[in-house]
Structure 1
Amino acid sequence: MTDPHDLSGGANRKPEAASEPTSWSEPQAADPALAARFLYRWAGQFSAALVRIRSRFDGDLDQYLLYLVFVLQEISSAGNGSGRKRGLNALSLSEITQIPRETARRKLLALAQAGYLRRDEEGLYYLGDAYSVDEVLNELKPLWDIVKLER
């Protein structure tokens, strides 16, 4: 598969491992029944995770989406070695999540009140202690386990 944006004619392309998929849209197996079984198992685990997450956030998946931005930021800062925590405000989170700013502001206040986030004196929000990154990853681990099994 060639990259239409690669002007080198493919000369800069790294050889691909035979067992690795080149994208998520590429099926792992030629057998449609295997692909359907994978999707069924993964979607079942995804649904179960959403039900657990929804109950944790009092039925409000928008709160989880806002919270997840902080989790991803935490993972990113740990991965790049900076360890620097950057606060986010309601406007930035509204733009990232496409949740209206006033709605995001109310939900952020609720997340801070519940301990999921903390808010500083400048109005910036940071990840709180009520639900750790490890807990989030463990909640989503069954999704990854299915992907690993199918590889």
Structure 2
Amino acid sequence: MKVCRLVHLIGSRKECAMSDPFYMNNLCNLDTPKGRAHSYINTYNVERAFRDNYTRYEYSFIEFYAEHLCDLSRAFKGDMQMVLLLATVAQVALRADMIVENSGGRVQELPPSRRGITTYRLADVTGIPRETTRRKLTAMEKMGWLTRENNFWCLAYEGDDAKIHQDLADVIDRSFRRAARFYVAVTPLVNS
């Protein structure tokens, strides 16, 4: 059983025992504006705040999500299966990138099994038929966005940057602004 000290924003101190690793793994320390007290937040409390403020949360989420999907639909000419496949490959690559970031290495130096995903696994995860998955991955390879290495599909790089990041730079820039708006909209719900 892990024990943590909760120092609430109102200044009271309380010992609590948390045996569930879920809560311990999702804790983060947030300094208050005065810098003296700390608040601990976890995914359970954030979810509860969203549920308690459902209408405001849902409006902000749908605004973010719908705008982002529309933007991606335009960029991919309506092929949302390609978006889903590329996002899944990118998720694997980004996780690998975060791992090597701490060691000063480059994601391209990792073996394909650490930074890529197989056609079979992509079809399984996304629910897209295997043959459709294969065709769309091959199309993205021809576009220069993906490479196939030892049966693993990986992001294609030009220097240190993934080619897709260069080709979709405008979409990515808009996603930063959109995510920032969403964050600003929901943060007060959690902090209330």
TM, length-normalised to structure 1: 0.71
1:68 aligns with one of 87, 96, 107: 87
2:63 alignment counterpart: 44
Whichever residue aligns with residue 126 of structure 1, its letter is C
Q: CA separation in 1, counterparts of 2:65 and 2:81?
A: 16
Whichever residue aligns with residue 65 of structure 2, its letter is F
* Contact 2:60/2:185 (<8 A) preserved: no
1:103 alignment counterpart: 132
The range that moved more, 47-56 or 110-119, is: 110-119
Whichever residue aligns with residue 72 of structure 2, its letter is I
2:183 alignment counterpart: 147
SS of 2:139's equivalent? helix
User: Is structure 2 residue 152 aligned with structure 1 residue 124?
Assistant: yes
* Contact 2:76/2:82 (<8 A) preserved: yes
Whichever residue aligns with residue 88 of structure 2, its letter is V
Counterparts in 2 of 1:144 and 1:20: CA distance versus 1, 3 Å = farther
Q: CA separation in 1, counterparts of 2:72 and 2:111?
A: 25
SS of 2:154's equivalent? strand
Structure with the larger strand share: 2
User: Which runs of 5 or more structure 1 residues have no equivalent in the other structure?
Assistant: 1-9
Counterparts in 2 of 1:71 and 1:139: CA distance versus 1, 3 Å = farther
SS of 1:132's equivalent? helix
Structure with the larger helix share: 2
* Contact 2:72/2:83 (<8 A) preserved: yes
1:143 Cα deviation from its structure 2 partner: 2.8
Whichever residue aligns with residue 121 of structure 2, its letter is S
1:22 alignment counterpart: 43
How many percent identity over aligned positions? Answer: 20
SS of 2:86's equivalent? helix
Whichever residue aligns with residue 61 of structure 1, its letter is M
> 1:48-72, CA deviations, whole angstroms, 9 ceiling, x for partnerless residues?
1111111211211111111011211
Residue-pair matches, total: 139
2:123 alignment counterpart: 94
User: Which runs of 5 or more structure 2 residues have no equivalent in the other structure?
Assistant: 1-16, 29-37, 157-161, 188-192
RMSD (Å), alpha carbons: 3.2
* Contact 1:77/1:85 (<8 A) preserved: no
Q: CA separation in 1, counterparts of 2:86 and 2:51?
A: 35
1:90 Cα deviation from its structure 2 partner: 1.6
* Contact 2:60/2:186 (<8 A) preserved: no
1:94 Cα deviation from its structure 2 partner: 1.0
